[in-house]
Homo-oligomer: A and B are copies of this chain.
Amino acid sequence: MLVSEQSIREAAVRIQPLARRTPVMQIDNWFFKCENLQRGGAFKIRGASNLVLSIPQADIARGVVAFSSGNHAQATAIAAKHVGAPAVIVMPEDAPKSKMEPTRALGARVVTYNRFTDDREAIAAAVMAETGGTLVPPFDHPMIISGQGTAALELLEDVPDLDTLVACVGGGGLLSGSATIATAVRPGIKVYGAEPELASDTYQSFVKGEHVTIPPPDTIADGLRSPSPGKLTFPIIQKLVEAIALVTEDEIRAAMRFVMDKLKIVVEPSGAVSVAAVLFGKVPVGTGKVGLIISGGNTDLEFLKTL
């Protein structure tokens, strides 16, 4: 299966029982796709439900396994509960409380690991060997990428004449899916990735033209801490994305304040990275219409107090 306009349109139909069509908010020429108001508080339900809803009935009872820093965990737990599959989620032990607790509340078994010393994929593999469950990877799977692309599809349905689209990049599922659908339905649109300076693996890979792996990053944007872009996502990004914009931690904080102040919505650090890139001129948007995907809103009030 390839990621394509068709696979994304199919995903848009498949995920309807689980994902909401989120609102688009506007400030002048900026159009914000509010995935922080998505079920589970982030776009991740799109990809997770696209994959989980495709699992053959015979495999459902063996359950699903996911490794995730947070939002994908919750999304997988929601989708698994919906189809009646037991879920095991492998999460870093320092994941935000706001992401770990809802995952447990959804009935998933949470296995924690140390981001700096453990290999999460090995841990997930061990769980899969034990249960025979289906892996729901966080980004590097055609069904996941296609699901994530549905956010940009909806945004372009609501605002068909966008000139620019900006999405954050961690492993690259959202960005590669967004770039695939945006360039298909709106030829000529410029798609940019936005990434924290402290987690610049995709930027470095993009510039160097090959996969670069960095040490475990420590940005406040906890959803974007992947150390390297995906094997499937990166070639799509290389082909369809104009550039990767880097933002500082202070710019992310300022963008969070901007979103809360101007749009009256709660955004998590990762979700403000696209906004930071536009707000601080890291992406050339000119006077055209720009779409910004606010990827999630799962943050603690305690963190907001530090802004």
Binding site for B on A (CB under 8 A): 23, 25, 36-37, 41, 98, 257, 260-261, 263-267, 297-298, 301, 304-305, 307
Contact = CB atoms under 8 A, between A and B. Distances in A.
A260 B261 CA distance: 13
Nearest to A266: B264
Contacts of A41: 264
Contacts of A305: 304-305, 307
A265 to B, nearest CB: 5
Contact of A265 (B261, B266, B301, B304): B266
A305 B297 CA distance: 17
A24 B6 CA distance: 32
Contacts of A297: 264
27 contacts: A23-B23, A25-B37, A36-B264, A37-B263, A37-B264, A37-B265, A41-B264, A98-B261, A257-B301, A260-B266, A260-B301, A260-B304, A261-B301, A264-B265, A264-B266, A264-B267, A264-B297, A264-B298, A265-B265, A265-B266, A266-B266, A301-B304, A301-B307, A304-B304, A304-B305, A305-B305, A305-B307
A36 B264 CA distance: 7
Contacts of A267: 264
Nearest to A260: B266
A279 to B, nearest CB: 16
Contacts of A23: 23
A25 B37 CA distance: 9
A159 to B, nearest CB: 16
Nearest to A298: B264
Given A25-B37, A37-B265, 4 more contacts: A37-B264, A264-B267, A264-B297, A265-B265
Nearest to A38: B264
A106 to B, nearest CB: 14
A154 to B, nearest CB: 15
Contacts of A265: 37, 264-266
Contacts of A264: 36-37, 41, 265-267, 297-298
A307 to B, nearest CB: 6
Contacts of A25: 37
A264 B257 CA distance: 14
A304 B305 CA distance: 7
Contacts of A261: 98, 301
A298 B257 CA distance: 13
A211 to B, nearest CB: 34
A191 B36 CA distance: 31
Nearest to A35: B264
Contacts of A266: 260, 264-266
